[in-house]
C-alpha cells in the first residue's frame, strides 16, 4: 500500500490509476482501487459534491427495486451495505433510514416486476393493499393507487456530504487529490500522461474518466451525441410548525412511477423535497443558470396539493437546479475507449446512479484488474443517439 504523499500530488510520479471526476462514481472508484493496493490520483474541476455536479445536492434516494432488472437490484442492495459500513467507520450518520414507499396503480407493471425481483433476490419488502396504506400514512392522498411496495430498509443518502466523505476516506488511505480541470487525451494507442488546464502533467498507467455531465464535452467525437445532459428542478417546501407527519419516521421517502414524481421527507428541517423525474431540456453544467422556472414550481405545487393536501399552502423554502447525465436507455456506460487502450469511460448516471456508487467502484476496479467480466449492457456499442428510456 502506498502511503507516502497521502492526499498530495507528487509531480513526476507515475500513478497506477488516474481517476478524473470526484463525483460518486469517481470517488468510489478511487477509494476501491486504493483499498486494493493501487496508487491513485483523483481530480475534480470544482470539488466533490459541488453545486454543479450531478452528485451534489442535499439528498438522494437509495432504493433496491428496479423492475425486472436483477443486476441493478443486486447492485443497490450491495451498495446500501457498503454505504452504511463507510458511514459507521467514519462515525457520520449520512444515511436516513426513512424507508421507501412505491405508490402503485394496477397498471404499474414495473413496480409489480420489482416485487418479483426483490423476492428472487431475497430482499425484504412489504406489498400493502390500499386499506393498509391509508391506515399507516393517512397524510398521503393515494389517488388511483391500489397497492404500495414498501422497502423498509431503504431510505435517503445525504448526497453532497456523502461524496465528500468518500473522498476524505480515500485521501486518508493514500489517494492523491487535486482540484484541477483535466483535458481529454488525444491520439491513438496508449496514453502516458494528461495535462490539466493549469499545465500540470498527470502520469498514470490507466486513466478513468468519471466526469458526469462533462464526459460528453471532453470526448465530443465519441460521446457528444450519446450522452444527454438535461436540466432538472428540485423543490423543498416548509412543513407546518410542530407537525411531524412529513418528517421521519412518520413519513417515508416515496415515488410514483405512473406520475414520474418522487420525494423525500423533511430531513434535518431542510424542507419536504419533491421533484419530477421526467427529463428536462438540454443543460450546460458549467454556465447554465440554476434558477428554477415558474412552470416547474407550478407543477410541483399542484402535485404537492393533490398528493399531500395538508401541504397545499406550504411555503417554498428552497429550490435547486441540477442535471441528469443520461445514456439513450438510462443504463450505465462503462467501457474502454475504442482508440486509447488504457483510457476508460464511466458515466450515464441517468438520475438513478448515485445509490450505486460503491457497486460501480467495485465493478470498475475489477474491470481494470481483469478480474470482473464485462457487462455487455454497459458497452459503448449499446449507447444510441436517440433517447428511449427503459431504466428508471
- CATH number of the domain bearing residue 113: 3.30.9.10
Q: State yes or no: pLDDT of 5 exceeds 60.
A: no
Can you give the pLDDT at residue 222? 95
Q: Is the pLDDT of residue 349 over 70?
A: yes
Residue 1 counted as domain residue: no
In a domain, 35, yes or no: yes
Residue 7 lies in a domain: no
Query: Between vectors from CA 368 to CA 185 and to CA 334, what angle results, nearest 5°?
Result: 70
Helix-, strand-, coil-residue percentages of the chain, each rounded to 5: 30, 25, 45
Dump pLDDT digits (tens) for 361-371: 999 999 999 99
Cα separation of 290 and 288, whole Å?
A: 6
pLDDT tens digits, 212-247: 999 999 999 999 999 999 999 999 999 999 999 999
Evaluate whether residue 78 is within a structural domain: no
Average confidence (pLDDT) over 126-141: 98
* 312 in any annotated domain: yes
User: Which H or E run contains 155?
Assistant: strand 155-157
Q: Which domain holds residue 140?
A: 97-155+229-323
Residue 116 belongs to a domain: yes
pLDDT, residue 3, reads 36
Question: Do residues 146 and 236 both lie within one domain?
Answer: yes
Domain shared by 132 and 198, yes or no: no
Alpha helices in the chain (DSSP H): 24-35, 70-90, 109-121, 130-136, 159-173, 215-218, 220-223, 294-307, 357-369
Cα distances from 52 to residues 41, 130, 140, 306, 358, in angstroms, run 22, 40, 33, 31, 22
Distance CA 308, CA 172 (A): 44
What pLDDT band is residue 11 in, cutting at 50, 70 and 90? confident
Mapping DSSP to helix (H, G, I), strand (E, B) and coil, where does residue 271 land? coil
| Predicted local distance difference test score (pLDDT) of residue 7 | 74
Instruction: Say how far apart CA 319 and CA 236 lie, in whole Å.
Output: 6
Q: Are residues 281 and 354 in the same domain?
A: no
Interstrand relation of 261-264 and 176-178 (parallel, antiparallel or unpaired):
unpaired
My answer on whether 372 and 338 are in the same domain is yes
User: pLDDT per residue over 17-71, tens digit each?
Assistant: 999 999 999 999 999 999 999 999 999 999 999 999 999 999 999 999 999 999 9
pLDDT, residue 54, reads 95
2, part of any domain: no
Band the pLDDT of 186: cuts 50, 70, 90.
Answer: confident
Instruction: Identify whether the C-beta of residue 26 lies closer than 8 Å to the C-beta of residue 46.
Output: no
| CA proximity to 357, closest of 70, 170, 83, 90 | 83
For residue 2, pLDDT over 80 is answered with: no
* CA 173 – CA 31 distance, rounded (Å): 8
Residue 1 has pLDDT above 90, yes or no: no
Judgement on whether residues 240 and 252 belong to the same structural domain of the protein: yes
Which of 283, 300, 323 is the endpoint of a domain?
A: 323
Strands 40-43 and 176-178: parallel
Domain count, the chain: 2
Tell me the H-state helices in 280-330: 294-307
142 within some domain? yes
Same domain? 254 vs 131: yes
Find out whether 332 and 347 touch, Cβ atoms under 8 Å: yes
Residue at a domain's end among 281, 301, 323: 323
Domain co-membership, 120 together with 247: yes
pLDDT band, residue 6 (cuts 50/70/90): low
**What's the mean pLDDT when you consider all of the chain?**
96
> 317 and 338 share a domain?
no
User: Whole-angstrom Cα distance, residue 271 to residue 373?
Assistant: 43
Give the CATH number of the domain where residue 177 resides. 3.50.50.60
Does 107 lie in the same domain as 33? no
The mean per-residue pLDDT over the stretch 114-139 comes to 97
Beta bridge partners of 149: 102, 127
Same domain, 250 and 234: yes
Which pLDDT does position 187 carry in this prediction?
84
**Helix axis angle, 159-173 to 70-90, nearest 10°:** 70
Same domain flag for 146 and 241: yes
Rounded-to-integer distance, Cα 321 and Cα 107, Å: 31
Out of 323, 345, 372, pick the residue that ends a domain.
323
Q: Work out the average pLDDT over 327-338.
A: 97
Residues 292 and 367 placed together within one structural domain of the fold: no
Given a cut of 60, whether residue 273 has pLDDT beyond it is: yes
**How far apart are the C-alpha atoms of 46 and 98, rounded to whole Å?**
31
Please report, in angstroms and rounded to a whole number, the separation of the first and last CA atoms in the chain: 39
Amino acid at each position: 500500500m502506498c502511503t507516502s504523499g497521502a492526499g498530495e500530488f507528487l509531480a513526476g510520479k507515475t500513478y497506477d490509476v488516474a481517476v478524473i471526476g470526484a463525483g460518486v462514481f469517481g470517488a468510489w472508484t478511487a477509494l476501491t482501487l486504493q483499498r486494493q493496493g493501487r496508487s491513485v490520483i483523483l481530480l475534480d474541476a470544482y470539488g466533490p459534491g459541488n453545486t454543479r455536479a450531478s452528485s451534489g445536492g442535499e439528498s438522494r434516494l437509495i432504493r433496491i427495486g428496479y423492475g425486472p432488472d436483477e443486476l441493478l437490484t443486486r447492485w443497490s442492495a450491495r451498495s446500501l451495505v457498503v454505504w452504511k459500513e463507510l458511514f459507521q467507520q467514519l462515525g457520520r450518520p449520512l444515511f436516513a433510514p426513512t424507508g421507501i414507499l412505491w405508490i402503485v396503480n394496477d397498471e404499474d407493471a414495473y413496480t409489480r416486476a420489482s416485487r418479483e425481483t426483490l423476492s428472487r433476490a431475497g430482499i425484504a419488502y412489504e406489498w400493502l393493499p390500499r386499506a393498509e396504506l391509508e391506515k399507516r400514512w393517512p397524510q398521503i392522498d393515494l389517488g388511483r393507487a391500489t397497492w404500495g411496495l414498501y422497502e423498509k430498509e431503504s431510505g435517503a443518502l445525504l448526497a453532497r456530504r456523502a461524496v465528500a466523505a468518500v473522498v476524505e476516506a480515500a485521501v486518508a488511505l493514500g489517494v492523491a487529490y487535486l482540484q484541477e480541470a483535466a483535458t481529454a487525451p488525444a491520439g491513438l494507442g496508449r496514453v502516458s500522461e494528461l495535462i490539466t488546464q493549469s499545465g500540470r502533467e498527470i502520469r498514470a498507467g490507466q486513466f478513468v474518466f468519471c466526469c458526469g455531465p462533462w464526459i460528453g464535452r471532453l470526448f465530443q467525437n465519441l460521446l457528444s451525441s450519446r450522452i444527454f445532459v438535461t436540466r432538472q428542478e428540485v423543490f423543498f417546501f416548509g412543513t407546518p410548525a410542530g407537525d411531524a407527519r412529513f418528517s421521519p419516521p412518520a413519513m417515508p421517502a416515496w415515488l410514483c412511477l405512473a406520475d414520474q414524481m418522487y420525494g423525500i421527507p423533511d430531513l434535518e428541517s431542510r424542507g419536504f423535497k419533491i421533484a419530477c423525474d421526467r427529463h428536462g431540456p438540454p443543460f450546460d453544467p458549467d454556465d447554465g443558470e440554476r434558477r428554477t422556472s415558474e412552470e416547474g414550481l407550478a407543477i410541483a405545487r399542484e402535485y404537492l396539493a393533490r398528493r399531500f393536501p395538508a401541504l397545499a399552502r406550504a411555503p417554498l423554502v428552497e429550490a435547486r437546479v441540477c442535471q441528469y447525465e443520461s445514456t439513450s436507455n438510462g443504463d450505465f456506460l462503462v467501457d474502454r475507449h475504442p482508440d486509447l487502450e488504457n483510457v476508460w469511460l464511466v458515466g450515464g448516471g441517468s438520475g438513478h446512479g448515485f445509490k450505486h456508487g460503491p457497486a460501480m467502484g467495485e465493478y470498475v476496479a475489477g474491470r481494470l484488474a481483469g478480474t470482473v467480466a464485462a457487462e455487455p449492457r454497459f458497452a459503448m456499442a449499446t449507447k444510441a443517439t436517440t433517447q428511449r428510456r427503459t431504466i428508471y
